[in-house]
Structure 1
Amino acid sequence: MTRHFQPACYIMASARNGTIYVGVTSDLPKRAYQHREGVADGFTQRHGCKMLVWFELHATMEHAILREKQLKAGSRKKKLALIESTNPQWRDLFAEVCA
């Protein structure tokens, strides 16, 4: 299957109001799968961040990286509010990005 380059900024979570991770990728379905399956060593594997709870697609990788930096510089409260604004049930959005 051929993937298309699609820059995205995203948030993974361990549970509702649990540990959260902000990341950036050019292939969101693949990256979210890696987090879910724990195949990538690092923060998300150690903290069980397996749920994709928020994402934003961008026209360029530069824009996605700028958004990631903006989110990482913000408070946890702002990140939680961002998730709640579009995903108040904290549903795992993995199926939506893989459809």
Structure 2
Amino acid sequence: MLKGNYFVYIITNPGKRVLYTGLTNDLATRLQQHYANRGKRDTFAGRYYCYRLLYYERFSDVQQAIEREKEIKDLSRQKKEDLISAFNPQWKFLLP
């Protein structure tokens, strides 16, 4: 079992219309990658300009992070919005 820093995160586009859930072990670098990929049609986040961080959870166990990412991805849009609102009530764009 791998131990370290793992982040499950939700990003959005500047208009906050699209939500993307991901998993990484380096949140700052991953956000830079999303920003660099904006507008690129070969990835979901790039196609929809998702690079603004709204929500994240940190895990030390990679398996727990993977399971949590799957849980969040399976949530309805409303439940994702509720999760973000509980963590970040004003939906401010966060920095890692």
TM-score scaled to structure 2, two decimals?
Answer: 0.85
**1:13 is the counterpart of 2:8:** no
Distance 2:12 2:85 in 1: 13
3-state DSSP class of the match of 1:90? coil
Match of 2:27 in 1: 28
Provide, for residues 38-97 of structure 1, a one-character-per-residue CA deviation record: whole Å limited to 9, x for no partner.
278511110011101000000111111100000111111100111111112221112xx1
Match of 2:68 in 1: 67
Greater strand share, structure number:
2
| Structure 2 unmatched ranges of 5 or more | none
Q: Read off the aligned partner of 2:35 and give its amino acid letter.
A: R
Count of aligned positions: 91
Q: Read off the aligned partner of 1:20 and give its amino acid letter.
A: L
Query: Following TM superposition, by how much is the alpha carbon of 1:17 offset from its aligned partner in structure 2, in angstroms?
Result: 4.2
Match of 1:88 in 2: 89
Moved over 3 A (4+): none
Query: Following TM superposition, by how much is the alpha carbon of 1:27 offset from its aligned partner in structure 2, in angstroms?
Result: 0.9
**Percent sequence identity over matched residues?**
36
**1:44 is the counterpart of 2:34:** no
Greater helix share, structure number:
1
Query: Following TM superposition, by how much is the alpha carbon of 1:37 offset from its aligned partner in structure 2, in angstroms?
Result: 2.4
TM-score scaled to structure 1, two decimals?
Answer: 0.83
Distance 1:28 1:69 in 2: 18
Superposition RMSD in Å: 1.7
Query: Following TM superposition, by how much is the alpha carbon of 1:15 offset from its aligned partner in structure 2, in angstroms?
Result: 3.6
